[in-house]
Structure 1
Amino acid sequence: MTSSIQTINTKSPARDPATTLIRINEVIAMVGLARPTIYKLMQRPDCNFPLPVKLSNSNARGAPVAWVLSEVQAWTRSRIEARDQVAA
């Protein structure tokens, strides 16, 4: 008698980086910068650091925000490319 073993995918489904929102702690981990530095970069247009998406209609300080994963990844890639251009 042959038994069939069914494989169950326990991994979470793949996330689309263009529509995945990440919170500040994940942004900090990805870019290696502190929270105040990230907020300073967002105020400087020449840095092109991605702006967050508001998660509620609140305008209060501390209202929940998140960043688009693909935008943070693109900013990180641009920093790597800038390094490579200087090194070349």
Structure 2
Amino acid sequence: MKDIHEIPRLLRWKEVSQIIPFSRSYVYDLINQGKFPKGYKLVHGGQAVGWWASDINDYMLALMESAEGSRHE
């Protein structure tokens, strides 16, 4: 069995908002621009959305690399 930390997790907005420095409306603008990972419906036909923790992690790493790159220019 995999370690509990290796199992893919879906994060709800409350958890995502504790990780990223943006408001919900700004995140949805970024999603519409294709600049932020899309959320996934948790139930077919439902309204609840979750984001894969790995997608959020990858986004934050890319944001960090971008910020560090622009700092050195």
TM-score norm. by structure 2 comes to: 0.85
- 1:83 to partner: Cα distance: 0.7
State the percentage of identical aligned residues.
21
Decide which structure has greater helix share: 2
In structure 2, the residue matched to 1:56 is 43
1:56 is paired with a residue of what secondary structure? coil
Query: Cα RMSD over matched residues?
Result: 1.5
Q: Which runs of 5+ in 1 are unaligned?
A: 1-12
In structure 1, the residue matched to 2:5 is 15
Computing the radius of gyration from Cα coordinates, the structure with the larger value is 1
In structure 2, the residue matched to 1:6 is none
Distance 2:6 2:33 in 1: 28
TM-score norm. by structure 1 comes to: 0.72
What count of residue pairs does the alignment treat as equivalent?
A: 70
Q: Which runs of 4+ in 1 moved over 4 A?
A: none
